[in-house]
Amino acid sequence: MQANGIDLKPRQEILTFDEIYRVAKILSELGVNKVRLTGGEPLARKDVEALIIRISSLYNIKTIGMTTNGYYLAEKVELLKNSGLTHLNISLDTLNPSRFKEITLRDGLDKVMKGIYSAIDAGFDALKLNVVVIRGFNDDEILNFVDFVQDKPIQVRFIEYMPFKNNSWREDGFVPYDEIKNNISDKYDLITSDGGKVSKDFSIDGFVGSVGFITSISNHFCGTCNRLRMTADGHLKTCLFSNDEVSIMALLRNGASDDEIKSLILDTLKQKNEMHDGIAGLLKSENRSMLQIGG
């Protein structure tokens, strides 16, 4: 969290549940079968479980995921599961209480840990911890996170520090995938697993949990990335690192038909770049902060 907080958008400038549902329905008709709710923080949105119920009713949607900071998770987890949420990612960059406070500006690690254990009990199809690794800040906790999932059905995913202009990014803080993996391999034998489109996944003999890596910078996966983002204020982003955005909200609120919205989505996808820029180019580009884009 930034020390001076963040600017919140007026409610009328963000998508309603009806609008989100309509776009999800249109995308499902185009072949999308997975929806992920992220943020900001999705559990800060009142009655988000009602949206999950509506999206889960769509014929082609097979999985509904959420990325959350876990702060409100314990009190919501049973409701989320019963509403149709199938996959859950929890963003947690430290297991150290004082370091957690430094990152989030609040004492909340106990609440997040309670949420994690509640999520385990709820039995989601997939449960993951997202850890952004920064040298000199939390890279000393890599093995602590691996050991944490030894007896838990959780994949801990180590994410490379991404160079956004407003992300306080520094070159000496970047820890590449190979270095993180080698650090773990010094203690454990990593066994290659079948990964997804964006994650390099490994199991460890005797572990209930597993390890994954998001290598956006040192070993990009642009060629297999099939994700399309819609921001809270109704803009499509075909790439996390690109500021090329197209407003869906404008069509939704100006009487466009479903076919017109489908055409805009397909035209936008055709213009997607083959790969994102390198570090130097990303640092120069104007883009939203990760607080606005979401996990």
- Rounded Cα distance between 272 and 55, Å, is 26
User: 70 with 111: CB under 8 angstroms?
Assistant: yes
Closest CA to 148 of 121, 175, 176, 184: 184
- Residue 152: what residue type? K
Which two structure tokens, joined as six digits, stand for 108? Answer: 């909340």
Per-residue model confidence (pLDDT) at position 277: 52
Provide the 8-state DSSP code for 224. Answer: G
Which two structure tokens, joined as six digits, stand for 232? Answer: 């809270």
The model carries a pTM of 0.89
Please say if the pLDDT value at position 145 is more than 60: yes
What confidence tens digit (pLDDT) does each residue in 153-181 have?
999 999 988 765 556 667 788 899 999 99
User: 31 with 60: CB under 8 angstroms?
Assistant: yes
What percent of the chain is predicted at pLDDT more than 90?
66
Q: With cut-offs at 50, 70 and 90, classify the pLDDT of residue 185.
A: very high
Between 89 and 278, name the one with better pLDDT. Answer: 89
The stretch 198-215 carries a mean pLDDT of 94
What percent of the chain is predicted at pLDDT more than 70?
83
- Rounded Cα distance between 251 and 7, Å, is 25
